Amino acid sequence: MKNITWFESMLSLKLGGGVRCMTTMGMLFFSCMSPAALGNTGSTYDLNINIDGTIVANGSCQFNNGGSLTVDFGEVRLKAGTSNSVTMEGSYRKPIASDFKCSGDSAGLLQMQLSSTGGSYKTYNGVQILDTDKGIVGVELLVNGAPQNMGSWFTIDQDNPPALEAELVQTSTTNSNNVVSGDTFTASGTLTMAFN
């Protein structure tokens, strides 16, 4: 039996394009690796994922006083002037009972709005107010003592509810509707509370 001697020597070749090849002579082992392949861990694939669901809002708030509320200013004194003019005497401010309670998931932006039932407003000192059917006086909304535009949302804190008041303000000195003693005036609006 003859002894076979294996010759092992390493030969390193640099080929064009940065490919490094090595061969082992004797066993005829040959391998090549590109530098880019050394850092590449494999092919990349993208997968688009669509997620959909339903938002469930189960919070609700209710006014404690039920469906309707009457704010009665009592007797309002108008003093007659010259040429069919009148001047309101005194001040007339009444609270609006707006106590409410919330239940369920009531986190979020809680807001209120007092809007005209008829949809029209009158401007008094730059603020939108409810006009009355007689036109001499209007009803201004006060939130914590400050005038608030009718028909505009304002943010409230359910843990510290606002004090709402209605105040009569004189919008005209002309008695164009010929208001006489004993006449009544009316205005109506809707107080809405919502998570906006």
The pTM of the whole model exceeds 0.75: no
Mean pLDDT of 152-181: 90
Token pair recorded at residue 170? 């004189």
User: Which domains does the chain possess?
Assistant: 9-39 (no CATH), 60-195 (2.60.40.1090)
Per the CB < 8 A criterion, the answer to whether 132 and 166 are in contact is: no
Asked if residue 30 has pLDDT above 60, the reply is: no
Instruction: Give 41's pLDDT tier (boundaries 50, 70, 90).
Output: low
Q: For position 6, what pLDDT does the model report?
A: 40
Asked if residue 16 has pLDDT above 50, the reply is: no
In 3D, which of 115, 181, 191 has the Cα closest to residue 156? 191
In 3D, which of 109, 106, 128 has the Cα closest to residue 119? 128
- CB within 8 Å of 32: residues ≥ 6 apart: 15, 19, 20, 21, 22
In 3D, which of 192, 186, 109 has the Cα closest to residue 150? 192
Per the CB < 8 A criterion, the answer to whether 20 and 33 are in contact is: yes
Tokens 């009531």 locate to 106
Q: For position 65, what pLDDT does the model report?
A: 66
Q: For position 59, what pLDDT does the model report?
A: 74
Buried b (16+ CB within 10 A) or exposed e, 81-116: eeeeebebeeebeeebebebebeeeeeeebebbbbb
Asked if residue 27 has pLDDT above 90, the reply is: no
Per the CB < 8 A criterion, the answer to whether 129 and 140 are in contact is: yes
Asked if residue 103 has pLDDT above 50, the reply is: yes
Instruction: Give 196's pLDDT tier (boundaries 50, 70, 90).
Output: confident
In 3D, which of 133, 130, 122, 131 has the Cα closest to residue 185? 133
Mean pLDDT of 112-139: 92
- CB within 8 Å of 75: residues ≥ 6 apart: none
Gyration radius of the chain over CA positions: 41
Per the CB < 8 A criterion, the answer to whether 11 and 31 are in contact is: no
Helices (H), the chain: 35-39
- CB within 8 Å of 175: residues ≥ 6 apart: 78, 80, 84, 85, 86, 136
